[in-house]
A and B are shown apart, each in its own frame.
Chain A
Amino acid sequence: MRGEGAAAPAAVAQGSGRAGLLSRESVRRFVQGDLASVRVVLGLALIWIIFQSQNDRFLSAENLTNLMLQITAIGLISVGIVYVLLLGEIDLSVGAVSGLAAAVMAVLNVKHGWSPYLAIAAAVLVGTAIGVLQGSLFSRFGIPSFVVTLAGLLAWQGALLEVLGSTGTINITDPKITGLANTFYSDAVGWIFCAAIIVAFAAVVLLGHRRRVAAGLAGESVPTLALRVGLVAVISIVVVAILNSDRGVPLALLILLAFVLGFEYIAKRTRFGRHVYAVGGNAEAARRAGIRVNGVRVAVFAIAGSMAAIGGIMAASRLLAVNQGSGGSELLLLAIAGPVIAGTSLFGGRGAVWTALLGALVIGSISNGMDLLALSSAVKFMVTGGVLLLAVLVDAIARQQRQAAGRV
């Protein structure tokens, strides 16, 4: 409470001293906040080392490409989950919604002969509509999102069985739909994507820097900017090199990246995203600031439903079929666990969309590695449960530390 006395002399020189204080602030952020992502990357490296030491095919180009294909559906569903978590809410229906949407697409395309584009659009709309319905029930009537979406989990699973009908399984043969998860680009096209990503990222960083300088604000130092661009460039080049040495860059990975980047942009750079963080941080403050809190909530659940549908479509495309188990088993819990493992808080207001990608990578690596070692289902379930618990534990401990440091 009484820090002002000591801070007063420094404040006199606020204008000139800001750069120095900023760097101290960035050190604090690194220690308290961004350390979470460093921790996850180190954890991922550890997981990879362990599995690689047990089976040297784990880090082969073929298996890493498979890993990318395996995480697409979970990562896409997690993108929507991140938004729900930012509100401090939960959506337990996303697994069932992904299955139902895939079934709707398959039935419309295979049984009713709809064009693949229309069938996909209808499936996504089903997800959106379900999200709007659940979000409205939650925000209008104040029913906890946990309960609304738990009811949804059951209801949409029933709807999945209804839509599939007596056959129980629908095989997808339309090349437009199966192509989503089974298209690979040539080496040259892969490198063009790689260059485009690097150039686009550098442009965004430089433009942001120039805008800050133009507004008379302290920009980041040139080495820091170069480091960020360099890091993204190295990662992109390594990933494309690995993928090119197998089948090439998969379309599925580009779809996942596009959604992650798009929704990261919305979360961090747009008015709507800012309002999502505000509602998750302090809904009453957001309301008093004139933010339509219920509108934000409904929109977020609509995003979660839509992304679940898109994830379900990608999963169906990869499996070439929709069946009664689509969207079931541990898909839901893994989609929630991923972002939490990677640093998005279950308590609302803290997190980032890219944790969906990083979390899916961690979860996918564990799952893929255990399959490669041919572990029994008994072991796989227990390990997965342990990882989920660990993630939640880490989040809770981080929250306690923030509170101990006076940050709520």
Chain B
Amino acid sequence: MSSNGALLELDGVSKRFGPVQALDRVDFTVHAGEVVGLVGDNGAGKSTLVKTIAGIHSADEGRMRFDGREIKVSRPQDATQLGIATVYQDLALCDNLDVVANIFLGQEEVSPGPGEVSRQLDEAKMEHRAGELLSGLSVTIPSLRTEVGTLSGGQRQQVAVARSLLGEPRVVLLDEPTAALGVPQTKKVLSLIGRLRERGLGVVVISHNLANVFEVADRIVVLRLGRTAGDFKAEQTTEEHVVSAITGIGEGGNDRDVGTEREEEG
């Protein structure tokens, strides 16, 4: 495997849940300033791969390298500290807390003072920063002090994306970022992804919507039944190629055996 300048590199990563082989020797790379679209059918292992990178699950086998160094990500904090930020499909927001509190959850700013425990939250600083982050995303939220539980699905998605950018990450993983969004909001999120690339971040986008993926991705990685079933340069391929890699039927599928396995399973 080539490791020339890859920001994040997975080498033969496997993950098993009981009898289910969720990931089977998956190789995966993200370069700085690159948007990788991660596609595949339901149950192909996309979310498991993202959760493995993010430290929610730890891989059973395989190696991960970040910035050329071998890493071990066993807790979400490990990933965050390395500079890998994740926006989950279920957003993982606390509905009882306001927008500012959710954006800074686990990374609260505190005023200087004695005592690790008694230091006061710097609400003004957090609200100011949250306002900057959200206006940078052209986000439409009535008040930063609104409880997140009262927001619409689109607004919640935007809060979650904004939160992922807080720690100045180098890799951002987005799990179905546009699934809950209307057309104008989707456009905003896609252009935001473009801006992340311009800033030199590596971006991984999981999406079912191939049109969105082709609009924003530089490279498209296809997973099928836990295996890498294709790795395409977006400019040099077509939706038909990618679809056939996803389904394992027709041209472009690298591994036809997997297709028969799938039929048995169905």
Contacts and interface: CB of A to CB of B under 8 A. Distances in A.
A59 interface: no
B47 to A, nearest CB: 13
B140 to A, nearest CB: 3
Contact of B94 (A2, A272, A349): A349
A180 B228 CA distance: 71
A286 B140 contact: no
Task: Give the most central of A278, A289, A408: most B CB within 10 Å.
Answer: A289
A400 interface: no
B82 interface: no
B182 A5 contact: yes
A11 B138 CA distance: 8
Interface residues of A, number: 50
B45 to A, nearest CB: 19
Interface in A20-70: 21-22, 24-25
A286 B128 contact: no
Contacts of B142: 7, 10, 21, 24-25
A3 B76 contact: no
A171 interface: no
Contact of A285 (B105, B125, B141, B145): B105
B61 interface: no
A22 B145 CA distance: 8
Given A217-B128, A272-B117, A408 B56 contact: no
B155 interface: yes
Interface string A164-189: 00000000000000000000000000
B55 to A, nearest CB: 9
Nearest to A3: B152
Contacts of A217: 124, 127-128, 131
Contacts of B236: none
A56 to B, nearest CB: 44
Contacts of A275: 106
Contact of A14 (B77, B127, B140): B140
Interface string A201-221: 000000010011011110000
A407 interface: yes
A215 B124 CA distance: 6
Interface in A234-286: 266, 269-272, 274-275, 277-278, 280-282, 284-286
A111 interface: no
Contact of A284 (B92, B96, B106): B92
Contacts of B131: 217
Nearest to A291: B106
Contacts of B184: 4-5, 8
B93 interface: yes
A17 to B, nearest CB: 9
A113 interface: no
Nearest to B188: A4
Contacts of B152: 1-4
A228 interface: no
B128 A216 contact: yes
A304 B108 CA distance: 25
Interface string B113-131: 0000111110111011001
A25 B140 contact: no
Contact of B108 (A14, A271, A288, A407): A271
Given A8-B184, A280-B96, 13 more contacts: A4-B184, A11-B140, A18-B143, A25-B143, A215-B124, A271-B119, A275-B106, A278-B105, A278-B106, A285-B94, A290-B106, A349-B96, A407-B150
10 contacts: A4-B184, A5-B184, A22-B145, A217-B128, A269-B121, A270-B119, A285-B92, A288-B88, A290-B106, A291-B105
Interface of A: 1-5, 7-8, 10-11, 14-15, 18, 21-22, 24-25, 208, 211-212, 214-217, 266, 269-272, 274-275, 277-278, 280-282, 284-291, 349-350, 402, 405-408
